[in-house]
Structure 1
C-alpha cells in the first residue's frame, strides 16, 4: 500500500502522535476478524465498575464536546432542557446546550425544522449572557450544518475570542475553513486543536483533514485509533461510518461494507452508514440489497444526497419513472431545507448538471463558488460548465479540484473522472486517457452510472499513439515570469 504522507512529502503534525497503519475493524476495541467473519467481543471492560451514565448525561457530554450521540439519548436531553427552561428561562448555559442539541438532531435526521429552533435557543443564550463562548460555538456548529461556512468561521472566531482555550470551537473552524477553500488556515486550526486536546474526537477531526489532503493512510489510522477510544456505541459507529467512506473511496468495497454494517449494528439510527451500505452494495452489483438499504436510509434521514444517489441507481437499472420520483423528492427536500436556512445549492447544482438544466446548474454553482470556494464546489462547477458546453472554462475548475498544490488533494475517482471526460471533449486524448484510467484505479466501481461511461470513453480513445508519448529527452520549456 502506498504511504500518502510520504508521497506528499509531509511528516507528522507537531504535537500529534504518529498513528500506525492498520486495518480499521481489526484494531477497533472489542472487535476481531476471524476466518473472514466479523465478530464482536462484549462491550465495555467486562468488570463490575460504575454504572453507565443516564441517557441525558451521555447526550450532554456528547453535544458539549461535538461527538456523535444516540438519537434516543438526544431526545431525553432535549426534553429535559425544555422542561428546565420553562421554569428557568434565564439560564444561559441551558439555552446553549438546548441549541446545540437541536443542531445535532437536525444534522442526524436531516430535518431542517430543527435549525430555526436551534438559532432561537442560542440567541436567547447570548441575550442572557453576552460573550457566551458556548453559545457562540453552537452558532458556529449551526452555520456549518446549514453550509454557511463564512458565518461559521466568524462565529468560531468570536467563540475563540471569548475563550481562547475553547477547544471545541476548533473543529467548527476547521470545517468552515475547508468549506471556504482556505486549507492552510484549516491546518493551523488543527495544529491548535491538538495542542489543546487529545482523544478520539480530535483524532476523528484530524482524519478529515488528512483525507482532504490525500493522506488516506494517515486518515484511516487516525480513525482506527478514534474508534478504539470511543466512549459509546454511537460514537464508535460514527467513526466506523467514516472509515467505511474511506474504504469505499479507495475501492475496497468488502471492507467498506463491513464498516457500514458494524456501524448500523452499534447504532441503528446511523443512517449515513445505511446509505453507505446502499452505495457499496450497488458498486458490488447487489442491486436489490442496495435499493433496500437506500430506502431505509432515506425513510429516516431524507437527505437530498441520498435521493440523488438512489435516483441514479434507479436510472442505471433503466427504471426511469422511479428515478424521476427520487429527483422530484430531491427538489422538495432542497426547498424544505432552504426554509430552515440550509444551503443545498451544491447538491442541487450537481443534480441539475446531470439530470436537469445544466445552464441553471452553472448559475447556481457560480454563485456558490463566489460565496464559498471549496474543492467540492470547484468540481461541481467544472462539470456543470462541461455539461453546458463550456469546456475551456470547465477545465480550469476541474484542475483546481484535482490539483494538490491548490488544495485539491482529495483522491476522488469522481473528480478525476470529470477531469478526464472534459479533456476528452477538448481533444486531449493523452491526458483524458491517463485521468480516466486513474479514476478507475482509485476506485474501479465508484459509480454505477459513470464507470460504464469511463470504460466506453477509454475504448473509444484506444491505445496511445506515438504523439501521446512524452519525449523524455526534450529540454523542458522555460516558464515565463507571469507563470
Structure 2
C-alpha cells in the first residue's frame, strides 16, 4: 500500500508546507515518457491526489502509443479512489479485455461490485481470478472477504484456508482466519490461528489485542491480561490498552490493580473508547453505559 501524505511527512520529518510545495511544483508538469508519467501518476495517487493521478495516467496512455493493460489498471484505480465508479468500471473492463487472461482487472471489478453490494457478482469475478492465479494468496483472501461480507462465514473460512495452503508463512492470513473464527465463536481454534500469526509477526500489538479476546472467551483470564500487557509493551503510547486493563481487572474484582491503570486510561480519546467498547463486546462484556 502506498504511504499516505501524512506518513511521508512523519517519516522524513518534513513540515507539511514543505511537502506541499513539492506537490505544487509537480502540478501541471507532464512526464517526458510514458514511464515517467506513470511514475508521477502513482506518486500522486499515493499522496491522495487522484485528479493529478488521472491526468498523468491519461498522458501515459497517449505517450505509450500502444495498448498497455498496466496503465489502464492504474487509471481504473485512480478513478475508484476518486469514487468515480462508472469510469473505474470501464477502465477495469478495458484492462480485462487487453489482458485477456489477467486476474487483476477482475479483482478491480470485484471491488466495485462489493462496494455497490453486489456480492454474488464480486464472488463470481474473484473465483475466476483465483482460477487464473491459483497461487496468489491476496486474491484468495479477497474472495474470503467477499464471502464474509455476504454473511457466508464457512465459505469465507474455506477460501482463507486456501490462501494459507498457498502461503503458510503469511502472518496476515493467519490473523484473518483467527479474526473470522472469533466472529464465528470458535475461540479455541481462533487462539491457534492467532498464535501462529504472533509467531510470524511478534511485534504487532494488535495481534495480542485480538488474542486477549480469545483467551478471555475460553476463561483464560490471566492469559488475556498478559496478552494486553504485551500489546501495551509494544505500543506504550496507546492508551486503549490501559483502558482495557482497567476494565478487565475490574471485571475480575481486582480493584486495587484496576485503579493503577485509571490515570493512563483517562487519556483515551473518542476513537480509543469506541475500540474499547467493541473489544469488550467481543469478549462478552457490556459497556459501562449498559450497567
Quickly name the TM-score band, shorter chain normalised: 0.5 to 0.7
Q: 2:180 aligns with which of 280, 293, 312?
A: 280
TM-score by length of 2: 0.58
Q: 2:269 aligns with which of 357, 369, 385?
A: 357
Query: Could you say which residue in structure 1 is the equivalent of 2:122?
Result: 219
Query: Could you say which residue in structure 1 is the equivalent of 2:19?
Result: none
Mapped to 2, the partners of 1:293 and 1:174 lie a distance apart of 35
Tell me if 1:204 matches 2:104. no
Mapped to 2, the partners of 1:169 and 1:450 lie a distance apart of 45
- 1:291 Cα shift? 3.5
Mapped to 2, the partners of 1:280 and 1:313 lie a distance apart of 12
Mapped to 1, the partners of 2:188 and 2:225 lie a distance apart of 16
Query: Could you say which residue in structure 2 is the equivalent of 1:229?
Result: 132
SS of the aligned residue for 1:168 comes to helix
Q: 1:247 aligns with which of 125, 134, 147?
A: 147
1:41-60 matches, within 5 Å, as none
- 1:273 Cα shift? 2.3
Mapped to 1, the partners of 2:49 and 2:121 lie a distance apart of 26
CA pair 189-330 structure 1, distance change in 2 beyond 3 A: farther
Mapped to 2, the partners of 1:321 and 1:158 lie a distance apart of 55
Query: Could you say which residue in structure 1 is the equivalent of 2:212?
Result: 314
Query: Could you say which residue in structure 2 is the equivalent of 1:178?
Result: 80
8 Å CA contact retained: 2:208, 2:227 = no
Query: Could you say which residue in structure 1 is the equivalent of 2:71?
Result: 169
Mapped to 2, the partners of 1:287 and 1:311 lie a distance apart of 14
Q: Which runs of 5+ in 1 are unaligned?
A: 1-102, 107-111, 117-129, 334-354, 362-383, 388-420, 422-446, 461-483
8 Å CA contact retained: 1:227, 1:240 = yes
Q: 1:323 aligns with which of 228, 232, 251?
A: 228
Mapped to 2, the partners of 1:188 and 1:217 lie a distance apart of 20
Q: 1:193 aligns with which of 95, 99, 105?
A: 95
Mapped to 1, the partners of 2:235 and 2:99 lie a distance apart of 39
TM-score by length of 1: 0.38
Query: Could you say which residue in structure 2 is the equivalent of 1:43?
Result: none
CA pair 268-193 structure 1, distance change in 2 beyond 3 A: same
Deviates more, 1:292-301 or 1:196-205: 292-301
- 1:168 Cα shift? 1.0
Tell me if 1:258 matches 2:170. no
1:424-435 matches, within 5 Å, as none
8 Å CA contact retained: 1:282, 1:448 = no
Which structure shows the bigger proportion of residues in helix conformation? Answer: 2
Q: Which runs of 5+ in 2 are unaligned?
A: 13-30, 239-266
Cα RMSD (Å) of the superposition? 4.3
Deviations 1:175-201 (A, max 9, x none): 333333333442343343344332223
